[in-house]
Structure 1
Amino acid sequence: MTEDISTLINIVTALPNPKKTLVFGSDHAGFVLKEYLKTQSQAWSYNVIDCGTHSEDSVDYPDYVPPVVKEVLAGARGVLICGSGIGMSIAANRYKGIRAALCADPLWAKLAREHNDANILVLGERLLGQQEAIECLRTFLNIAFEGGRHLRRVEKIDS
């Protein structure tokens, strides 16, 4: 019986929440992965907002952070993608209330949500395969913030 409940919990938590909005932003080096993750998110019934870029033409990554931040501060979850993810995470974390986490695998995404209440997932297209990126996104969308001792720390970050 316990095994059946455990299996059901795993199945339910593997399904993304279809009532949420997910906002994407990328530069040219993250464009292909952004398009792929948008399609997957829509298949999961997420409301998707695309803040650009809209091609692989060279652009400056900091230009795509503010519109994503605005949507995240209004209640959406965000995804930023550039070549390495480093530039996007640095730019996003300059905003009060934003906790952008650069994740290289699903465990990082899990810990970013559980311990840091990350509200933007940052990925590096040049460093991750599409399947790994999907697993990071799925984890980021399905893991809840634990609160407790972590809440005190997050409040210190935001103060």
Structure 2
Amino acid sequence: MKVVIGCDHGGFELKEVLSAHLKDKGFDVVDVGTYDTNSVDYPDIAQKACEEVTSGRCEWGVLICGTGIGISIAANKVNGIRCALVSNEYSAEMTKRHNNANMVAFGGRVTGPDLAKHILDAYVGAEFEGGRHEKRIEKISALEG
């Protein structure tokens, strides 16, 4: 399975950890940057990563900035993206099961690497339940302009 990962300078270290973690689990990881800690604008990275998902080249993605807030807001401006900022395993599992989120965001300055790996594993291990949640996803999609 091909997944995309991207970050700004505030998420670079965590991106490196999560990218390696995904590769260890057998995922084909597309890294859209950034590739060091030099300052970049998170909306640019979010756009690149989201295009990988909306085009179908990647099935889902991971975004990281300092808090995860800015990059998740930017991602959610892209039609077809449902990005959840996750900070615990339960939220990560439920965003896949109930919201069918196709992107998850982390705060590189607020979530430690070990916890982030556990959170990502919870997301990866969950499956969308469909059913009553499907109509809610359709209503979310209808909000897109």
* Shorter-chain TM-score tier: over 0.9
Taking the aligned partners of 2:52 and 2:123, their CA distance within structure 1 comes to: 17
**Pick from 87, 92, 98: which aligns with 1:109?**
92
**Pick from 6, 27, 39: which aligns with 1:58?**
39
Regions of 4+ moved over 6 Å: none
Taking the aligned partners of 2:9 and 2:63, their CA distance within structure 1 comes to: 12
**TM-score, with structure 2 as normaliser:** 0.94
Residue-by-residue CA offset, 1:121-152 (whole Å, 9 max, x unaligned): 10001111111100111111110011111100
Deviation at 1:66, TM superposition (A): 1.3
Q: Which amino acid aligns with 2:31?
A: D
SS in 1 for 2:98: helix
Q: Does 1:135 align with 2:114?
A: no
Gaps of 5+ in 2: none
Taking the aligned partners of 2:51 and 2:43, their CA distance within structure 1 comes to: 14
Q: Which amino acid aligns with 2:7?
A: S
Q: Which amino acid aligns with 2:88?
A: D
**TM-score, with structure 1 as normaliser:** 0.86
Match in the other structure for 2:26: 45
Q: Which amino acid aligns with 1:122?
A: A
Count of residues in Structure 1 that have an aligned counterpart in Structure 2 = 140
Q: Does 1:148 align with 2:131?
A: yes
Residue-by-residue CA offset, 1:19-50 (whole Å, 9 max, x unaligned): x1110010000000000111111111100000
Taking the aligned partners of 1:129 and 1:119, their CA distance within structure 2 comes to: 22
Taking the aligned partners of 1:101 and 1:131, their CA distance within structure 2 comes to: 19
Larger radius of gyration: 1
